[in-house]
Chains A and B, each alone.
Chain A
Amino acid sequence: MINELSYIGYFFLILAMLNSFLLISSKTILYKININTAGLISLTSRMHFPILLLSFLCLIYSFLIDDFSVKYISDNSNSALPYFYKVSAVWAGHEGSMLLWCLILSFWMFLVSKSSESLDKEFRENFLSIMGFLNFGFLLFLIFTSDPFEKNLSVPIDGRDLNPLLQDFGLIVHPPMLYMGYVGLSVVFSFAVTCCIHKEFKKEWATWLRPWLLLSWSFLTLGIALGSWWAYYELGWGGWWFWDPVENASFMPWLMSTALVHSLIMTEQKNIFKNWTILLAIFAFSLSLLGTFLVRSGILVSVHSFANDPTRGIFILIFLGLIIGVSLLLYSLNADKIKDNQSFDLISKESFFLINNILLVTATFTVLLGTIYPLILDIFGLEKISVGTPYYNLTFLPIMIPLIILAGVIPTLRFDNNSNLKNIAINFIFIALTSLVFILIFSIINLYVMLGLFLFFWITINLFIHLFKNLSWMHIGNRFKQNIGMYFAHIGLAIFTLGATIVESNKIEKELIMKTGDTIKVNKYTFEFEKFFREDGPNYESLKGKFNVFKDGKLISVLNPEKRLYFSNQSGMPMTEAGIQPGLSRDLYVSLGNLVDDNSWSVRIYYKPLVRLVWLGALIMVLGALLSIYFQINRNKKRRTT
């Protein structure tokens, strides 16, 4: 009976496909034969999620009971794997992660279906039908090219095991978060396409859409931050961003949806930028599909890409072309009918928002060019090139500087007049002086650190002055609630900027050979390599080093970097686990290279000042977005009751 679960899971997949087919046909075919489609659309769009959830649970259960008759399980799991990794192995490979993708897509549709009653009836039905179309397309892809329940011809005794790099907490949570973000953009996309069909973008629609966008943006931010954190401690090089095409694939939708968050504010508050908002929504989701295509098709080789099956790449490419093509066609046919009712001055808050958007979109395209230009050259067989960090440092970072400066100014401006330009000048002098004091106190000579420090103060001081000025005359009311999320998000950006510039300019990285008993001084810290010893884990053997770290002669920490050899790994390829002592002001990072002699190792010792601020900044941004969502939903409720 238990082995039948994989068949039941497959059955639910087929059922879900039929269900989504029913959903998309209600609006296109069934309404012609006088069937009440309204109820049908509501029902099918809600049923989709529970059906897929059952299918997903079947897969999880099959993993837990080591049902190696299923090919996907025998490829990605092993009986010695701890149970929590058995669960996370469900989304460690291609098939399972596509199932997770479909599940999350259906979950978003479920939520939308539940909470979209306030929208116009006709609009809502079209909206859900488009989401249904996306669900149907991805389910087709799943069932016909990547069936997770496919059976093995002969049942192996044990599974091949989960890639050891993925046996880690970061990788349990990173994919679901990132997918929630990627797929959440489908809500915004479907909404934008529906606007094109209706040739309209009402102000209250923008209000409805905002929490959805912010929620998926939050997940995307969280997913990217988790990925960066994982790479930092798991890959053993101590970097937090590599400009790897796979990272860029998630970063591009982030940049685009950040632009979208800002242009949607304009649409909601001033009834302008409507066209632009719709176009950004289409781009943002298209980029997240492009990311999926790049990562999953095997064009890019990385820990994320799995068996290279060309049919999958072709299917995603066709689906991608269809979605982008149809949505852009609808847009170009109808965009001119969605008119902005107002115009604005050249120097005004509105035009600063426009500049913010132009900068973010330009930044996205520099990343896009660096990511796909090498691939295009390669496909045509012209040249094999790669684009590295120097390119991004020279093109991407200069765009970020004015953007961060704007993040400190725009919130202090008001829509109605531009009289506070004088205040900006005063604030500038004050902030420059503050930065100068800090530069002198810490005797900073590095230009990047100076810039980072200035940008940090620029945002935080500007925002705090604005906050306190307004508090005095403004009862803590709607304005405050409306803006508090933005304050957090921008201060998160400031903290991130400070961390990123300082860790990149002041980090110390030593690579050397150490015998047991050797010591080395890095910054104020003395690292002593005391010994190394054997200590095995549940499914691997491990050599651990013991490093004592002293500061001013006092022992402050003991670090245990590891070299692991997983039992299931036939070729004897070791894995590196870094030993890290995290701290808000700095991280101490030790990782083992290879054994060069009986008792000496090549060792990496890193000192990373303020590296935690990079992820802390991202978390604060997310907190800001969540606060915004909370207050907006509250406001909407109040508006409805009065």
Chain B
Amino acid sequence: MKKRTIRIYYVLIISFLLVILFFLFIKIFNENLLFYRSPSEISQTEFPPGYVFRIGGVVVNNSLIISKKTTDIQFYITDFEKKILVKYSGILPDLFREGQGVVIRGKLLSDGSFLAEEVLAKHDETYMPPEVSESLKINKKQLEETSKSIVK
């Protein structure tokens, strides 16, 4: 074979491999995206069982129940339209508070509650996760008043 034909074969093989790698990559990428849904969006959509995604909202006041024997915890979060029960087993972050915004990763259980794998409350105490503040069904000013009344 001529040198040139060999080179063409090389190029073909390498580009074929690259295309396969690229598709694998896109597949992995798509499978590992975590989507965000608010509590009222959850009631409108169907999810495949075991589908992991993130939800967010404000922790409903006086809804936090902490077990004294195990690390089981449950609480409600709301976007001021719908609320959803969240079950979690583990230790909550320092910044977790009733009346504050949280983002939670986990999956929907068959009874309609949400099983949390991870509860995120970020580093800043005055901070409302942007996903949460945008998906809330009331505007910012209302929110401030509501959270004040919740905290009180």
Q: Which of A580-623 contact B (CB under 8 A)?
A: 593-594, 596-597, 600, 602-604
Question: What is the chain A residue whose CB lies nearest that of B29?
Answer: A391
Option from A513, A573, A604 in Cβ contact (under 8 Å) with B94: A573
Option from B33, B34, B35, B68 in Cβ contact (under 8 Å) with A600: B68
User: Is A383 a contact partner of B127 (Cβ separation < 8 A)?
Assistant: no
Shortest distance between the CB of A47 and any CB in chain B (Å): 39
User: Is B91 a contact partner of A575 (Cβ separation < 8 A)?
Assistant: no
Cα A603 to Cα B91 with chains together (Å): 8
User: Is A369 a contact partner of B122 (Cβ separation < 8 A)?
Assistant: no
User: Is B131 a contact partner of A511 (Cβ separation < 8 A)?
Assistant: no
Shortest distance between the CB of B135 and any CB in chain A (Å): 8
Known: A513-B69, A573-B125, A602-B91. A394 touches B28 (CB 8 A): yes
30 A–B contacts from the bound complex (CB under 8 Å):
A163-B123, A165-B123, A301-B129, A302-B123, A303-B123, A383-B35, A385-B33, A385-B34, A387-B29, A387-B32, A388-B34, A390-B32, A391-B29, A391-B32, A394-B28, A394-B32, A395-B25, A395-B29, A513-B69, A513-B71, A571-B126, A573-B94, A573-B95, A574-B94, A576-B94, A596-B67, A597-B68, A602-B91, A603-B91, A604-B91
Shortest distance between the CB of A349 and any CB in chain B (Å): 19
Closest A-B pairs by Cβ, 4 of them: A593-B91, A391-B32, A384-B36, A303-B123
**In the assembled complex, which residues on chain A have CB atoms less than 8 Å from the CB atom of B91?**
511, 593-594, 602-604
Number of residues on chain B facing chain A (CB within 8 A): 31
Option from B33, B54, B122 in Cβ contact (under 8 Å) with A301: B122
Most buried by A among B89, B91, B92, B127: B91
User: Is A302 a contact partner of B36 (Cβ separation < 8 A)?
Assistant: no
**In the assembled complex, which residues on chain B have CB atoms less than 8 Å from the CB atom of A314?**
none
Q: Beyond the given A302-B123, A303-B123, A594-B92, could you list 8 further A-B residue pairs with CB under 8 A, ordered by the A residue number?
A: A236-B94, A370-B29, A386-B54, A387-B29, A394-B28, A511-B90, A571-B126, A576-B94
Cα A388 to Cα B122 with chains together (Å): 16
Cα A573 to Cα B97 with chains together (Å): 9
Shortest distance between the CB of B2 and any CB in chain A (Å): 16
Q: Does A326 contact B (CB under 8 A)?
A: no
**In the assembled complex, which residues on chain A have CB atoms less than 8 Å from the CB atom of B131?**
384
**In the assembled complex, which residues on chain B have CB atoms less than 8 Å from the CB atom of A569?**
125
**In the assembled complex, which residues on chain B have CB atoms less than 8 Å from the CB atom of A390?**
32
**In the assembled complex, which residues on chain B have CB atoms less than 8 Å from the CB atom of A391?**
28-29, 32-33
**In the assembled complex, which residues on chain B have CB atoms less than 8 Å from the CB atom of A433?**
none
Q: Does B46 contact A (CB under 8 A)?
A: no
Chain B 64-89, CB-CB to A under 8 Å as 1, else 0, gives 00111111000000000000000001
Q: Does A512 contact B (CB under 8 A)?
A: yes
Cα A258 to Cα B116 with chains together (Å): 38
Shortest distance between the CB of A327 and any CB in chain B (Å): 27
User: Is A511 a contact partner of B71 (Cβ separation < 8 A)?
Assistant: yes
Shortest distance between the CB of A37 and any CB in chain B (Å): 49
User: Is A387 a contact partner of B33 (Cβ separation < 8 A)?
Assistant: yes
Cα A597 to Cα B67 with chains together (Å): 10
- Interface of A toward B, CB cutoff 8 Å: 163, 165, 236, 301-303, 366, 369-370, 373, 383-388, 390-391, 394-395, 511-513, 569, 571, 573-576, 593-594, 596-597, 600, 602-604
Q: Does B48 contact A (CB under 8 A)?
A: no
**In the assembled complex, which residues on chain B have CB atoms less than 8 Å from the CB atom of A600?**
68
Q: Which of B21-38 contact A (CB under 8 A)?
A: 25, 28-29, 32-36
Shortest distance between the CB of B28 and any CB in chain A (Å): 5
Option from A303, A384, A574 in Cβ contact (under 8 Å) with B35: A384
Cα A366 to Cα B28 with chains together (Å): 11
**In the assembled complex, which residues on chain A have CB atoms less than 8 Å from the CB atom of B111?**
none
Cα A602 to Cα B88 with chains together (Å): 13
Q: Which of B112-128 contact A (CB under 8 A)?
A: 122-127
Q: Does B130 contact A (CB under 8 A)?
A: yes
User: Is B123 a contact partner of A596 (Cβ separation < 8 A)?
Assistant: no
**In the assembled complex, which residues on chain A have CB atoms less than 8 Å from the CB atom of B67?**
513, 596
Cα A390 to Cα B94 with chains together (Å): 25
Known: A301-B130, A395-B25, A593-B92. A513 touches B32 (CB 8 A): no
**In the assembled complex, which residues on chain A have CB atoms less than 8 Å from the CB atom of B33?**
385-387, 391
Cα A594 to Cα B89 with chains together (Å): 14
Shortest distance between the CB of A589 and any CB in chain B (Å): 13
User: Is A301 a contact partner of B36 (Cβ separation < 8 A)?
Assistant: no
Cα A236 to Cα B121 with chains together (Å): 13
User: Is B68 a contact partner of A301 (Cβ separation < 8 A)?
Assistant: no
Question: What is the chain B residue whose CB lies nearest that of A377?
Answer: B33
Cα A386 to Cα B29 with chains together (Å): 11
**In the assembled complex, which residues on chain A have CB atoms less than 8 Å from the CB atom of B68?**
513, 596-597, 600
**In the assembled complex, which residues on chain B have CB atoms less than 8 Å from the CB atom of A597?**
68
**In the assembled complex, which residues on chain B have CB atoms less than 8 Å from the CB atom of A602?**
71, 91
User: Is B127 a contact partner of A301 (Cβ separation < 8 A)?
Assistant: yes
Cα A236 to Cα B129 with chains together (Å): 21
Cα A576 to Cα B93 with chains together (Å): 9
Question: What is the chain A residue whose CB lies nearest that of B89?
Answer: A511
Question: What is the chain A residue whose CB lies nearest that of B103?
Answer: A386
Cα A593 to Cα B90 with chains together (Å): 9
User: Is B70 a contact partner of A513 (Cβ separation < 8 A)?
Assistant: yes
Shortest distance between the CB of A565 and any CB in chain B (Å): 11
Shortest distance between the CB of B115 and any CB in chain A (Å): 16
Shortest distance between the CB of A82 and any CB in chain B (Å): 22
Shortest distance between the CB of B69 and any CB in chain A (Å): 6
User: Is B95 a contact partner of A369 (Cβ separation < 8 A)?
Assistant: no
Question: What is the chain B residue whose CB lies nearest that of A570?
Answer: B125
**In the assembled complex, which residues on chain A have CB atoms less than 8 Å from the CB atom of B35?**
383-385
**In the assembled complex, which residues on chain A have CB atoms less than 8 Å from the CB atom of B92?**
593-594
Question: What is the chain A residue whose CB lies nearest that of B129?
Answer: A301
Question: What is the chain A residue whose CB lies nearest that of B151?
Answer: A571
Cα A573 to Cα B123 with chains together (Å): 11
**In the assembled complex, which residues on chain B have CB atoms less than 8 Å from the CB atom of A574?**
94
Cα A369 to Cα B33 with chains together (Å): 12
Cα A302 to Cα B70 with chains together (Å): 31
Question: What is the chain A residue whose CB lies nearest that of B35?
Answer: A385
Cα A533 to Cα B44 with chains together (Å): 50
Cα A211 to Cα B92 with chains together (Å): 47
**In the assembled complex, which residues on chain A have CB atoms less than 8 Å from the CB atom of B95?**
573
Known: A571-B125, A602-B71. A387 touches B34 (CB 8 A): yes
Cα A573 to Cα B126 with chains together (Å): 11
Cα A236 to Cα B93 with chains together (Å): 9
Question: What is the chain A residue whose CB lies nearest that of B123?
Answer: A303
Shortest distance between the CB of A402 and any CB in chain B (Å): 12
Shortest distance between the CB of B59 and any CB in chain A (Å): 15
Q: Which of B7-55 contact A (CB under 8 A)?
A: 25, 28-29, 32-36, 54
**In the assembled complex, which residues on chain B have CB atoms less than 8 Å from the CB atom of A573?**
94-95, 125
Shortest distance between the CB of A318 and any CB in chain B (Å): 23
Most buried by B among A301, A303, A603: A301
Question: What is the chain A residue whose CB lies nearest that of B118?
Answer: A388
Known: A386-B34, A388-B34, A604-B91. A596 touches B66 (CB 8 A): yes
Cα A594 to Cα B68 with chains together (Å): 11
